[in-house]
Amino acid sequence: MRVLHLVPAIHRATHRIGIYLADLREFSLSQGESHILAQLAASGPASVADLHRGLAHKRSTLTSILDRLVERGLVVREVSPADRRTFIITPTARGRRVARRVHRHLEELERAVVAGVSADEVRAFTKVLAAVEHEARQRTGPRSPA
């Protein structure tokens, strides 16, 4: 059997990012909640579809995470005035503070990583990740949530 190189490395890195996010203990956020808040910190209010595109969660998983964030008072889910079939997710005042903290925490990690590699290495890494995501999406067929 051929040894896997990319998938285990991506899995380990993803797991380590989750552990890194858990350092923000005062917020008791799951990794999924943290990533949604970080995306909202960068984008501002977003539709559920925008969050789905940005994070590639299964729709049911995304809904569950958003339900928890709403219950905790970190975001509100409102019907879009432009399209009543669309929900817009907006951080509350507290949610914006938490989202900014999560985003800064991830920025610190990314800044440290980028400081240790060249711009060409970052571009190559990003290209490889895009290829992995593309191939995984292609191979999941029509049931793919992304």
Q: Low-confidence residues of the chain, pLDDT below 70?
A: 141-146
pLDDT of residue 81: 87
90 strand-pairing partners: 76
What is the set of domains in the chain, with CATH numbers? 6-138 (1.10.10.10)
pLDDT of residue 57: 86
pLDDT of residue 144: 45
pLDDT of residue 80: 87
pLDDT of residue 91: 97
SS3 13: helix
- Please say whether the beta carbons of 76 and 90 come within 8 A: yes
Phi, psi angle pair for 31, to nearest 5°: -60, -45
> Edge-to-edge, what's the strand order for the sheet holding 87-91?
46-47, 87-91, 75-79
pTM to 2 decimals? Answer: 0.88
